[in-house]
Structure 1
């Protein structure tokens, strides 16, 4: 089985990769299209040169890596906006598609703490909605995941036809061997964690109402499809 997990940034995507990476029957992969995305778009992201040197930049070569059968099961963490319209997607046929979503106010506040000059394409709500229209799949609102990780993960496992493993609820601090080279910039909180954080508090105030209003319709539409426990 392959689970392809799609999200924008700051959506608990790394924590979910760690949860599956802590199962003995899963191997995990961290954002394999990141270098190809940067090479194609020319965007200047933190650690750009190191990222380009760490992964293949040809999307066809990356697709071949993602298509390889896993030893047992595979959980692949992908950013929705990395899958540019001209990139091949046939490699994803037959996989389980999982979409992680989070309220855009939380995403904007979290992403803005790491990078200036945010655009809508950076937080990827439109890209994720477009990808969902192409591939379908399951949706999890990460607020629900944080409210009750055991129940939500058990629900997800049931939906995809595997047994729930309590090992998914905790992991060793310090990161995972599959972390991308960019982890030193982006994964500080994930590296300090040993499990899912508790329920989130009130929505943060954001100073980018333009981004919030652009993202909210996509989030609301995806939220209506989210798994319920």
Structure 2
């Protein structure tokens, strides 16, 4: 029996490190943002490496969804999803066959990090609204704050494993530097920092100070973050 775990995150969160953590278990298959090409194709969004992404994955969301619930040999199937990639008019029946985990991060940290990689983000780029929608759509799930993971990876990963019904292993605390074969083609643009790591970064410091439009953007995201943060595991 395979336990399928859909991890719903916005960009500039801990989602890639978490994918590497699960891959290091030894019993898990991982997939990296499988709906990305379909999202770009149907929205026309202009993202870095758009052409390469469209050529690397299926652009048919029904094909992707079928893959996510098809038989695999591993006992854990970790599915890393960006919340804004899941468009609301797509068939979401596949979601009934997976467990859902919501990885959250304070909006100020997300905005500050995202702005260093891509200028002028808007609220829909950051996934907070979509994360709250999916949370309601699937009837909730396990909520994990990335800051808590970085503060105490062993304890929080044990708590997460308990919640989703898989055994904890300390193999999840370390992985080989340099990336993973499952990385999406976009890793060349977004993953340079995590490719240099072989474990979780240290606890985060004070919240960054934002000004002007960036501060307003973080403020707009706060109600959606706070909704899920009230339900996070500790």
Instruction: Write the distance in 1 (CA, Å) between the matches of 2:83 and 2:205.
Output: 26
Match of 2:126 in 1: 123
TM-align CA RMSD: 0.8
Once the two structures are superposed, residues 170-202 of structure 1 have per-residue CA deviations (whole angstroms, 9 ceiling, x without a partner) of: 000000000000000000111001000011001
Out of 198, 201, 204, the residue aligned to residue 200 of structure 1 is 204
Instruction: Write the distance in 2 (CA, Å) between the matches of 1:92 and 1:130.
Output: 13
Out of 211, 221, 224, the residue aligned to residue 227 of structure 2 is 221
Instruction: Write the distance in 2 (CA, Å) between the matches of 1:224 and 1:195.
Output: 27
Out of 133, 136, 141, the residue aligned to residue 133 of structure 1 is 136
Mapped pair 1:187 → 2:152: no
Out of 33, 37, 40, the residue aligned to residue 38 of structure 1 is 40
Out of 56, 67, 70, the residue aligned to residue 69 of structure 2 is 67
1:98-177 mapped onto 2 (5 Å cutoff): 98-135=101-138, 136-177=140-181
Return the offset for 1:91.
1.2
Instruction: Write the distance in 1 (CA, Å) between the matches of 2:90 and 2:190.
Output: 25
Return the offset for 1:66.
1.1
Instruction: Write the distance in 2 (CA, Å) between the matches of 1:88 and 1:116.
Output: 32
Return the offset for 1:212.
1.1
Give 3-state SS (helix, strand or coil) of 1:10's partner: coil
TM-score, scaled relative to structure 1: 0.98
TM-score, scaled relative to structure 2: 0.96
Instruction: Write the distance in 1 (CA, Å) between the matches of 2:26 and 2:4.
Output: 15
Divergent runs of 4+, >3 A: none
Unaligned runs of 5+ in 1: none
Instruction: Write the distance in 2 (CA, Å) between the matches of 1:148 and 1:109.
Output: 23
Unaligned runs of 5+ in 2: none
Once the two structures are superposed, residues 67-120 of structure 1 have per-residue CA deviations (whole angstroms, 9 ceiling, x without a partner) of: 212212200000011000111211121311000000000000101000012010
Instruction: Write the distance in 1 (CA, Å) between the matches of 2:62 and 2:203.
Output: 40
8 Å CA contact 2:69, 2:97 repeated in 1: no
1:81-92 mapped onto 2 (5 Å cutoff): 81-92=84-95
8 Å CA contact 2:52, 2:185 repeated in 1: yes
Give 3-state SS (helix, strand or coil) of 1:99's partner: strand
